[in-house]
Amino acid sequence: MKLFLKDGSIYEGESFGASASRFGEVVFNTGMTGYVESLTDPSYAGQILVCTYPLIGNYGVPPHDRWESEKVQIAGLVVSEYWDEYSHHEATQSLSAWLKQSGVPAIFGVDTRALTQKLREHGVLLGALGDKKPRTFADPNEENLVARVSIDERRVYGDGPIRIIAVDCGMKENIMRTLARPETTIIRVPWDYDFTNDDYDALFLSNGPGDPMRCVPTIAHTAKAMAADKPILGICLGNQLLALADGATTYKLKYGHRGQNQPCIDMHNGRCYITSQNHGFAVDAKTLPPEWDVWFTNANDGSVEGLRHKSKPWMSVQFHPEASPGPTDTAWIFDDFIAQLKRRV
């Protein structure tokens, strides 16, 4: 099996996933662990994932309740070395068996260092995994990926006094685990659900795949929540949606930020946090209305990693404070949000 890139490059490897051909946007992840969480993260929908860490598969696949969604979300997987003889007390199957059951192709034996260098120099590229070079390369960004990965109907979790509308744009399960507390009721709704007339105390905007500009209904509903002065927390795609709802713009990063080692600086106190990230778009700081402060910036490229409004109860971060995988250094952001709501309710 081979990885074909739109620029004409071909990387040959040995198959250890499904015998299938798949298109996708080829991106790289710099994490040393956490492949199960990454593969099930809906933000990876439509993408062929390249792992920069050379050894993948050595701890197998844990039970379903440890995944970040109900299935493997990536279009394909490319690694340097695959290890089938896994060893972990929670593992239930090998990575190869899981990928085959999921219908997801994967190859190993690829020089992922060279491939990553190409992606850093050129930027993300369209690609295909298969045995034959395709005539054309499908671009997943032309599809509304959020509509593909969002839930289909409204769901309610818990019975606490604080009612939070959580807009599922491809929400990771660990976000739900983190928001679910004795004092909260989480009302999880589809990406285009009109919650503006519902009874709720705060709004949460989740992570998700693709171009945020395609989430037109979500942006419009968020703007109405802002007009009602509802407290809002956004994560990843939610950071971009919140900015768009107040008139800012977003842009596509050259190769995105994916991994568990992204340094972000808190612009209020200068502290640097190591964060878990997975996104390909960012907020253009120059387009933010003057009422907004840039809360966090990426220490590597200076891009916006978080926003706070100067007077309204609105805040968002581009990284993943819920981790899974990655460091939990910024988990306090959820605590601060819930504490804010307790003071209001």
Which residue among 51, 169, 215, 236 is the active-site one?
236
> What's the residue count for the chain?
345
Instruction: Give the contacts of 85 (CB within 8 A, at least 6 positions apart).
Output: 58
Which residue among 221, 257, 279, 320 is the active-site one?
320
Continuous segment of H or E residues that includes residue 50: strand 47-51
Separation CA 21–CA 186 (nearest Å): 39
The SS3 of residue 215 is: coil
Give yes or no: 236 in active site. yes
- Cβ(218)–Cβ(237) under 8 Å? no
Give yes or no: 279 in active site. no
Give yes or no: 169 in active site. no
CB atoms within 10 A of CB 19: 11
CA dist 313 to 40, 64, 329, 340, Å? 32, 36, 22, 8
DSSP 8-state symbol, 61: B
- Cβ(200)–Cβ(165) under 8 Å? yes
DSSP bridge partners of 53: none
- Cβ(190)–Cβ(334) under 8 Å? no
Which residue among 25, 173, 305, 322 is the active-site one?
322
Catalytic residues, by residue number, are 236, 320, 322
